[in-house]
Amino acid sequence: MHYRSLNFMRYIHKNTLSELYFAVVLKSLALSMVGIFVPVYMYTELNFSLNQLSYFFLVWALLFALLTPIVAKIAAKFGLKHMIVASVPFEILFVALLVLMKTHDISYIYAAIVYTFAGAFFWTGFDIEFAKVSDKKKRGSEVGFLFFAITLAGIIGPFFGGLILTFLGFNVLFYVFTFLLIIGAVPLLGSHDDYEEVSFSLVHIFKKKYAKDMLAFSGLGSRAVAAVIFWPLFIFIMLGGYMELGILATGAGLITALFSFYVGKLSDRKGRKKILDIGAIIHSITWAVRLFAYTFFQLFVVELISGLSFVLASIPFNSMFYDKMGKRNKIEYLIFKEIGFTVGKVITLVAVILSGNLIVSFLIAGVASLAYMLYSEK
């Protein structure tokens, strides 16, 4: 068994794509094991109001866009894989701050800053590296496997996290969380690192040929805020408990994970744009349907269809995104994407703050999901 484990680690160490999968899966597993789903935890355990929650993520969104070019410059000096490794202490500190905020008077601004650093370091390094090492001919399958692995880790994590929390306590769970993040980063430390020259011009953002891409990124930023922050909070409010939320997410997530694998292979064989457009239309409709879902069964069905349609649109989209990134100035295109995403995030967050109603985010997300259709392979 020990020999097989060594062979497994050697294989990961020799294959950069495997290193990336390993790092992102263990990161997803660790975060889901801790069981702190940030928006719900802040709303219920830290007693954040809807506006406070929105302001937290507004700070996070704006800082993320500002940090990306800075992190890119750091990556040019220290390497892309080292950026992923550098995210680990920030992830650990962020979760520690959330726990401490329950008993200590700590401003959410500090947590937002740490959360931003964790995300900026990880995703800047990951996105650029993935664009460099993934195979253009098999990119749909590789992105599909990435979605499958992340979703599966998100399903397994809460189960084992719950067991550890029940029988061994939170301290042990926090140590396991820390251990998983570190182990996920270990193969990246000793392998050859990649460096990407930093040269970009914000003037290119305003070129006419990039207008559709910018609108697409902005729309997807708006959709992401509604899906990641306000939809889980809505489910929690409707069902009234973590367990119900966990069961719903696990059931829908398992089916979505298996579907991801299929869509990845399909997008390599069929027209990616056609698959993306079908997924975008269905996903847009799910946001209108959410307004009429109240029971567990209704919410489960909406969550399932939403997840399947999201995968249908997102896997071709991400495959096309990494294709474009591989052919262009990677740093510039990544910064371009983050600016677009930030514009979309800010629009949704400000709308919720001004209206005081999270349902507004669903209406915006319904329209914004159609932005997938603006994205093309050219």
Are 183 and 171 a contacting pair, CB within 8 Å? Answer: no
Pick the more confident residue, 20 or 223.
223
Angle, CA 287 vertex, CA 376 and CA 236 arms, to 5°? 130
State pLDDT tens for residues 103-112: 888 898 999 9
Q: Is 216 helix (H, G, I), strand (E, B) or coil?
A: helix
| First-to-last C-alpha distance (Å) of the chain | 48
Catalogue all structural domains in the chain, each as residue range(s) with its CATH number: 2-374 (1.20.1250.20)
Residue 244 banded pLDDT, cuts 50, 70, 90: low
Q: List own/partner pairs for 325-328 with CB under 8 A and 24 or more apart.
A: 325/127, 325/128, 325/131, 326/131, 326/132, 326/136
Measured from the Cβ of residue 103, the count of other Cβ atoms closer than 10 Å reads 7
What is the C-alpha to C-alpha distance for residues 55 and 42, in angstroms, rounded to an integer? 12
Nearest to 139 by CA among 331, 327, 330, 267: 267
pTM of the entire structure? 0.81
* pLDDT beyond 80 at 194: no
CA dihedral 88, 93, 96, 102 (to 10 degrees): -140
What is the C-alpha to C-alpha distance for residues 313 and 282, in angstroms, rounded to an integer? 9
Dihedral sign for Cα 69, 72, 78, 84, please. Answer: positive
State pLDDT tens for residues 78-112: 877 888 888 889 988 988 898 888 888 889 899 99
Alpha carbon 98 to chain centroid distance? 19
pLDDT for 137: 73
Mean model confidence pLDDT for the chain: 80
* pLDDT beyond 50 at 9: no
Dihedral sign for Cα 248, 254, 259, 261, please. Answer: positive
Nearest to 321 by CA among 267, 366, 283, 367: 267
pLDDT for 30: 83
What is the C-alpha to C-alpha distance for residues 227 and 350, in angstroms, rounded to an integer? 16
pLDDT for 363: 94
Pick the more confident residue, 204 or 218.
218
pLDDT for 367: 94
Structure tokens at 231: 């939809």
Structure tokens at 125: 């390094």
Nearest to 185 by CA among 82, 65, 99: 82
Q: Is 356 helix (H, G, I), strand (E, B) or coil?
A: coil
- In terms of phi and psi (left: phi > 0; alpha: psi -120 to 50; beta: otherwise), the region of 107 is beta
Are 349 and 278 a contacting pair, CB within 8 Å? Answer: no
Segment 237-250 mean pLDDT: 69
Helices 296-327, 108-133: axis angle to 10 degrees equals 60
- HEC letters along 140-209: HHHHHHHHHHHHHHHHHHHHHHHHHHHHCCHHHHHHHHHHHHHHHHHHHHHCCCCCCCCCCCHHHHHCHH
Neighbouring residues of 188: CB distance < 8 A, sequence distance ≥ 6:
19, 23, 81, 82, 84, 85
The residue type at 140: G
